[in-house]
């Protein structure tokens, strides 16, 4: 029982870290796209 509980806790922590990394990646992509579009608009 204790081992199963620890395993689920570790899995939850892994999922949380992965979701945080994905969120950061998405934010960076959005910022990059925003800057890229802004640069295109400035050139025009």
**Single pTM value for the model:** 0.57
Q: What's the CA gap between 36 and 38, in Å, rounded? A: 5
Q: Would you kindly state where each structural domain of the chain is located, as residue ranges?
A: 1-44
What pLDDT was estimated at residue 10? Answer: 81
What pLDDT was estimated at residue 22? Answer: 96
How far is Cα of residue 31 from the mean position of the Cα atoms in its chain?
13
Q: pLDDT means per 10 residues in the chain (44 residues)?
A: 76 93 96 94 83
**Token reading at 18:** 């992965």
Place of tokens 């994905």: 22
What pLDDT was estimated at residue 2? Answer: 63
């Amino acid at each position: 029982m204790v081992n199963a509980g620890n395993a689920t806790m570790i899995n939850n922590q892994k999922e949380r870290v992965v979701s945080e990394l994905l969120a950061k990646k998405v934010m960076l992509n959005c910022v990059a796209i925003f800057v890229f579009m802004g640069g295109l608009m400035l050139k025009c």
